Structure formats: C-alpha cells, structure tokens
Amino acid sequence: MSLPPFEINTARLLLRPFTNADLDGVYQGLSDPKVVQHYGVSYSTLEETSEQMYWYQHIQQTGVGQWWCICLASHPDRLIGGCGLNDLQKEHRRAEIGYWLLPAFWHQGFATEAVAAMLEYAFQTMKLHRIGADVDLDNHTSANLLLRLGFTREGVRRGFEIKNAHPIDLQLFSLLATDSPAR
C-alpha cells in the first residue's frame, strides 16, 4: 500500500516529498564528511546518490516509510536536509526516524522544528504508537535533540552496525504516543 505524498508546514519550514530535482542537494548533504560522520549512508558520486533517491520513492510507494525534504518556507525548491519515517510496521503501529541537515543550517533549531512536525504527523495522522531512533554513541547533538523532544534512551546496541569496516555502538531511543510530550 502506497503512502500519499504530502507536505508539512511549520513556522519556518516546508517539509515536502523528494523529487528528482533534489538529487544535487541530497548528494551535497550525503557526501559531506560533517553530515555523514554520524549518519548511516554516504555517497561519493552523483550517480551513487540516485540510489538514495530511488529508496525515498520506493519506501513511499510500498508503504514502509515516507521521507521529506526539509526546505526553508521562503525557498521551497532548495533543500537544507531531509527527515523521515522508515521501517514502518503498520500492524505494530511503529516506525524508525532519521534526519540530516546541511552544516550551514546546524544549531538554528531547524532539525528540532522539522522532527517535531514529523512526529506530530506520525502520532496524530498516522496513529503510530512508537517511534524509534538509533543514534551513533558519539552523536551527542542528535541524542540531545531526541531528549528535548521527549524521547527515552532505552539503552545501547553494542556492535550493532559496521561503519568504515569497524563495528559501532548505537543508542536506542523511543517515544510513545502515550508519553508526555515535550513537543
């Protein structure tokens, strides 16, 4: 079952579905060493980045997720990052979240604003019960963002992923629809 593409508006941002025109922006982000330092995906060529664009489209069409471009409301055609839900389990009403921003837009509250809007949609419209997030143990900025939004740190998944040929630990966070939201 396909999820319908749609937009989410916030005070400063527009979250909209990815299009083929966003390829350059996605490559800019997912090839930037600062962005991919704690992110699970990276690309070294524009051609490789087309795999990511296919993934965004595929998860939406198959109903297992939805990702959005994060754009300034004043510049809706230029992405500054991405955020989304993946590994959507409709039977269990849960999904995992992910997000990234271009470094020029860090430390301005844009990630918090985008993720909060996405969470509101996930709980209110999609009626999800649980949202999970896996965060690199050294990614304190992302962990703090999740804690500010009311997530609970559940523990550490030791040696959970291989990155640059080395096992890394990931922190597991969750937010339930029944939690008292900090949102």
Listed by start position, the domains of the chain span: 8-176
**Helices 23-30 and 46-62: crossing angle, nearest 10°?**
110
Split at pLDDT 50, 70, 90, the class of 3 is low
Above 80 in pLDDT, residue 181? no
Q: For residues 107-131, give the mean pLDDT.
A: 96
Residue 40, pLDDT score: 82
Half-sphere exposure of 35 (CA within 13 A, CB side): 25
CATH H-level, domain 8-176: superfamily: Gcn5-related N-acetyltransferase (GNAT) (3.40.630.30)
Reported confidence tier of residue 164, pLDDT bands at 50, 70, 90:
confident
What would the pLDDT profile of 57-114 be if each residue is shown by its tens digit? 999 999 999 999 999 999 999 999 999 999 999 999 999 999 999 999 999 999 999 9
Residues with Cβ within 8 Å of 58's Cβ and at least 6 positions away in sequence, in order, are none
pLDDT for 158 beyond 90: yes
pLDDT band at 182 (very low <50, low <70, confident <90, very high): low
* CB-based contact 103:36 (threshold 8 Å): no
**Mean pLDDT across the chain, nearest whole number?**
93
